[in-house]
Structure 1
Amino acid sequence: MSFPKPPQDAKELLSRAMPSHPHILIKPMFGNLGAFINGNMFAGLFGEQIFVRLPEDLRAELLAIDGASEFSPMPGRAMKEYVALPVGWKQEPERITAWLERSFAWAETLPEKLPAKKKAKKS
């Protein structure tokens, strides 16, 4: 299965809208981008879609906004806790920033997620 690649303007929009924090790590994921704090992904870019991770009450609030949707990188397989922001918000980056900040603030309270230990090779 191939995933959509994000265009340069979408990467730049995500970069400009991202909260300024020294511990945010943005790294490639499946040809797209993921934003992490303490090992937990809180936002990302999938093709032209910016998505955020939120607690239940904020997810409901965002999903009530026209154009927001459950984030489903594969049809019919929504990622739990993630919502895709309305595409029309490209013209309103301050709205993207506000939701990225809310997502970041919540994810920062989650327990640190440590990398999985690699299995030892069998001889």
Structure 2
Amino acid sequence: MRKWKKASEELGELVGEYVAEYDAEFRKMFGSPVHFVKGNMFVGVHGDGIMLRLKEEDQQKLYAEHDEATPFTPNGRRMREYAILPPSVYDDEMELRKWLDISYTYVSSLPKKEKKEKTSKKTKRTKD
């Protein structure tokens, strides 16, 4: 298994600049910058890559247009609606904006994700 790699600060700043024009909430997940729309993960940085959420047909279009694009598989587990953009996309402002727009439109269409109530860390007592 690959060792966990810290998120690229440079990519985090790049994503932050582009995402500023969207109605998205910034959070850190496992030390990585991630942006959410209506409680749903939209785009973030993982290691040296930018991941974003896409519906299946848009993922297929991304893979067809960019050979280096890959499914997002942190720790070897595939996250079904997420893909990693290749550097050729985030090195091209127009192409990056295009894919952010596609992702944002999709994530904005999803129902609002409600925050789960935090459970108490105290162990529950069982009746004797």
TM-score normalised according to structure 2 size: 0.84
CA distance 1:19–1:105, shift in 2 (3 Å): farther
In structure 2, the residue corresponding to 1:60 is in which secondary structure? Answer: helix
- Listed as ranges, the gaps of 5+ residues in structure 2 are none
Q: Alpha carbon RMSD of aligned pairs, Å?
A: 1.8
Q: How does 1:24-43 map to 2 (within 5 A)?
A: 24-43=24-43
Q: Give the structure with the larger helix fraction.
A: 2
| Higher RCO (C-alpha under 8 Å, 6+ residues apart) | 1
Contact 1:71/1:84 (8 A) holds in 2: yes
Q: How does 1:1-123 map to 2 (within 5 A)?
A: 3-18=4-19, 20-21=21-22, 23-64=23-64, 65-75=66-76, 77-120=77-120, 121=122, 122=124
Displacement of 1:95: 1.4
| Segment drifting more, 104-113 vs 9-18 | 9-18
In structure 2, the residue corresponding to 1:43 is in which secondary structure? Answer: strand
Larger Rg: 2
- Listed as ranges, the gaps of 5+ residues in structure 1 are none
Task: State the identity %.
Answer: 31
Q: How many residues align?
A: 121
Task: Give the residue type in structure 1 aligned to 2:5.
Answer: P
